Structure 1
Amino acid sequence: MESINAFLSSLIPYAEWAMLIMVVGGGLFLAFYSGFRPYRYFRHAIGITAGKYDDPDDPGEVSHLQALSSAVAATVGLGNISGVAIAIYMGGPGVIFWIWMTAIIGMCIKFYSCSLAIMYRHTDASGNLQGGPMYYITQGIGPRARPLAVFFSIAGLVGFLGVFTVNQFTQTFMNVVDPDTTLATLGEFNWKLIIGIVLSLVTSLVIFGGLQKIARVATAIVPFMVLLYFGAVVIIMANNAGEIFPALKLIITEAFNFKTAFTGGFWGLVILGVRRAVFSNEAGLGSAPMYHGQSKTKEPIQEGLVSMLGPFIDTIVVCTLTAVVILLSGAYLEAESNGILMTLIAFEKSLFGYGDVLLMLVVAAFALSTLFTYSYYGVKCLSFLTNPRIGNWFNYYYVATITFAAVASVDLVINLIDLAYALMCIPNMIAVLYLAPRVNREMKRYFTQLKHERP
Structure 2
Amino acid sequence: MKKYLLSLLFIITPLLSIAQETTDQGIDEIINERFGNATGWFVNAIFYQIPITKDVGIPWVVIMLLGFATFFTLYFKFINISGFAKAINVVRGKYDNIDHVTVDPMYGDLTPGGDSIETIRIEGKHGEVSHFQALTAALSGTVGLGNIAGVAIAITIGGPGATFWMIIAGLLGMTSKFAECTLGVKYRDVGKDGTVYGGPMYYLRKGLSEKGIAGLGKVLAVLFAVFCIGGSFGGGNMFQANQAAQIFNDVTNNTGASSGFWFGVIMAVFVGIVIIGGVKRIASVTEKVVPFMVGIYVLAALIIIGANFSHIPSAFGEIFEGAFSPVGIAGGFVGVLVQGFRRAAFSNEAGVGSAAIAHSAVKTKYPASEGIVALLEPFIDTVVVCTITALVIIITGNYADTTASGVQLTSNAFASVLPWFPYVLTVAVILFAFSTMISWSYYGLQSWLYLFGKSRQNTITYKVLFCVFTIIGASISLGAVTDFSDAMIFAMAVPNLIGVSMLLPKIREEVQKYLDAIRSGK
> Normalising by structure 2, what TM-score?
0.80
Q: Distance in 2 between matches of 1:245 and 1:414?
A: 39
2:264 matched to 1:196?
yes
| Residue matched to 1:276 | 343
The Cα offsets for residues 51-110 of structure 1, whole Å up to 9 and x where unpaired, read as 223336121111111101111111112221122223333433332222211111110011
Q: CA deviation at 1:363?
A: 1.9
Amino acid in structure 2 at the alignment position of 1:217: V
Q: Distance in 2 between matches of 1:137 and 1:150?
A: 9
Q: Distance in 1 between matches of 2:36 and 2:416?
A: 33
| Residue matched to 1:42 | 84
Q: Distance in 2 between matches of 1:69 and 1:426?
A: 25
Q: CA deviation at 1:249?
A: 2.3
The answer to whether the 8 Å contact 1:200/1:399 transfers is yes
| Residue matched to 1:374 | 440
2:358 matched to 1:291?
yes
| Residue matched to 1:355 | 421
The answer to whether the 8 Å contact 2:80/2:172 transfers is no
Match of 1:103 among 165, 170, 184: 170
Q: Distance in 2 between matches of 1:268 and 1:124?
A: 49
Match of 1:168 among 243, 246, 249: 243
Q: Distance in 1 between matches of 2:490 and 2:177?
A: 16
| Residue matched to 2:227 | 155
Q: CA deviation at 1:426?
A: 0.7
The answer to whether the 8 Å contact 1:379/1:392 transfers is no
364-373 or 227-236: bigger deviation: 364-373
Of the two, which has the highest radius of gyration? 2
| Residue matched to 1:11 | 45
| Residue matched to 1:420 | 488
Q: CA 1:258–1:386 in 2, change beyond 3 Å: closer, same or farther? A: farther
Q: CA 1:298–1:381 in 2, change beyond 3 Å: closer, same or farther? A: same
The answer to whether the 8 Å contact 1:379/1:393 transfers is no
Q: CA deviation at 1:199?
A: 1.4
Match of 1:443 among 498, 506, 511: 511
> Normalising by structure 1, what TM-score?
0.91
The secondary structure found in structure 2 opposite 1:393 is helix
The secondary structure found in structure 2 opposite 1:22 is helix
State the percentage of identical aligned residues.
37
Q: CA deviation at 1:259?
A: 5.8
| Residue matched to 1:112 | 179
| Residue matched to 1:403 | 471
Q: CA deviation at 1:341?
A: 1.2
Counterparts in 2 of 1:236-385, with a 5 A limit? 236-257=304-325, 260-263=328-331, 269-351=336-418, 353-385=419-451
The secondary structure found in structure 1 opposite 2:328 is helix
The answer to whether the 8 Å contact 1:94/1:250 transfers is yes
Q: Distance in 2 between matches of 1:410 and 1:260?
A: 34
Q: CA deviation at 1:12?
A: 4.1
Match of 1:51 among 93, 96, 108: 93
| Residue matched to 1:223 | 291
The secondary structure found in structure 1 opposite 2:249 is helix
413-422 or 276-285: bigger deviation: 413-422
303-312 or 353-362: bigger deviation: 353-362
Question: Unaligned 5+ residue runs, structure 1?
Answer: 181-187
2:177 matched to 1:177?
no
Q: CA deviation at 1:296?
A: 0.5
Amino acid in structure 1 at the alignment position of 2:247: T
Q: CA 1:174–1:257 in 2, change beyond 3 Å: closer, same or farther? A: farther
| Residue matched to 1:185 | none
The secondary structure found in structure 1 opposite 2:126 is coil
RMSD across aligned C-alpha pairs, in angstroms? Answer: 2.4
The answer to whether the 8 Å contact 2:160/2:322 transfers is yes
Amino acid in structure 1 at the alignment position of 2:47: P
The secondary structure found in structure 1 opposite 2:77 is coil
Q: Distance in 2 between matches of 1:405 and 1:95?
A: 31
Q: CA 1:244–1:119 in 2, change beyond 3 Å: closer, same or farther? A: same
Q: CA deviation at 1:23?
A: 1.4
The secondary structure found in structure 1 opposite 2:170 is helix
| Residue matched to 1:387 | 453
Q: Distance in 1 between matches of 2:429 and 2:369?
A: 32
| Residue matched to 1:184 | none
Q: Distance in 2 between matches of 1:4 and 1:250?
A: 43
The answer to whether the 8 Å contact 2:95/2:518 transfers is no
Q: Distance in 1 between matches of 2:321 and 2:482?
A: 27
Q: CA deviation at 1:170?
A: 2.1
Q: CA 1:162–1:304 in 2, change beyond 3 Å: closer, same or farther? A: same
The answer to whether the 8 Å contact 2:127/2:363 transfers is yes
Q: CA deviation at 1:126?
A: 6.7
Amino acid in structure 2 at the alignment position of 1:175: D
Q: CA 1:298–1:9 in 2, change beyond 3 Å: closer, same or farther? A: closer
Q: CA 1:356–1:211 in 2, change beyond 3 Å: closer, same or farther? A: same
Amino acid in structure 1 at the alignment position of 2:440: Y
- Judging by fraction of residues, say which structure has more helix: 1
Q: Distance in 1 between matches of 2:259 and 2:231?
A: 26
Q: CA deviation at 1:37?
A: 3.4
| Residue matched to 1:66 | 133
18-27 or 314-323: bigger deviation: 18-27
Amino acid in structure 2 at the alignment position of 1:260: G
Q: CA deviation at 1:299?
A: 0.7
